[in-house]
Amino acid sequence: MSEFWKEKTFQEMSESEWESLCDGCGKCCLTKFTEQDESKPLIYTTIGCKLLDCTTCRCKKYENRFEYVIDCKKIEREDIDKYYWLPAKCAYRLLSESKQLPWWHHLLTGTRDTMHNLGFSVRDKITSEELVDPDNAMDYIARWPAQ
């Protein structure tokens, strides 16, 4: 496969190329808190969206997810200046900052297993929001998802 992400801008990529940049780590599907000061980074928790499969790290209803989760954020190409909320190793954020994809990215290795095995995804490390009392959400704050 050509290394299209090095040759094309986000706007030049096909929809399938754009979608393939996502490594499926699942970190962007965790509950996050914002500081009053918006210049500060988001605070991540280990609470997963109700549609996030905590083992595969995939959305259970990706195609029509907005019907079920109204605040699910679609990552748009033109929102490049708003990617600060994405985890530091997210491919969209890395490329938007003119950085390289990490060596373990599935477009380089051919498999997402490497990422999971290295512990860079949310696999088996999170709790579904359906099992969490919202009043206790602050107990689930963690640093690793932002990395």
Smallest separation, CB 69 to ligand SF4 (Å): 4
Contact with ligand SF4 (CB under 6 A): which of 10, 18, 26, 104?
A: 26
- For ligand SF4, give the closer residue by CB, 47 or 75: 75
Q: Which residue has the tokens 């051919």?
A: 110
Tell me which stretch binds ligand SF4 (CB under 6 A): 1-9, 64-72, 76-84, 96-104.
64-72
- For ligand SF4, give the closer residue by CB, 22 or 108: 22
Our CA dihedral for 97, 60, 56, 89, rounded to 10 degrees, sits at: 10
Q: Which amino acid is at 11?
A: Q
DSSP-based three-state secondary structure for 121: coil
Tell me which stretch binds ligand SF4 (CB under 6 A): 31-39, 46-54, 106-114, 133-141.
46-54
In Å, the largest CA–CA distance within the chain is 48
Closest CA to 113 of 18, 23, 2, 16: 23
Contact with ligand SF4 (CB under 6 A): which of 10, 29, 54, 101?
A: 29
Cα 128 to Cα 53, 61, 65, 119: the distances in Å are 8, 15, 16, 18
Measure the CA–CA gap between 5 and 79, rounded to whole angstroms.
17
* Residue 59 in contact with ligand SF4, rule: CB under 6 A: yes
Instruction: Name 133's bridge partners.
Output: none
Smallest separation, CB 58 to ligand SF4 (Å): 8
Write the binding mask 72 to 101 for ligand SF4: x where contact by CB under 6 A, - elsewhere.
x--x----------xx--xxx---------
Structure token pair of residue 102: 């990490």
Binding positions for ligand SF4, rule: CB under 6 A: 22-29, 49, 51-52, 59, 65, 69, 72, 75, 86-87, 90-92
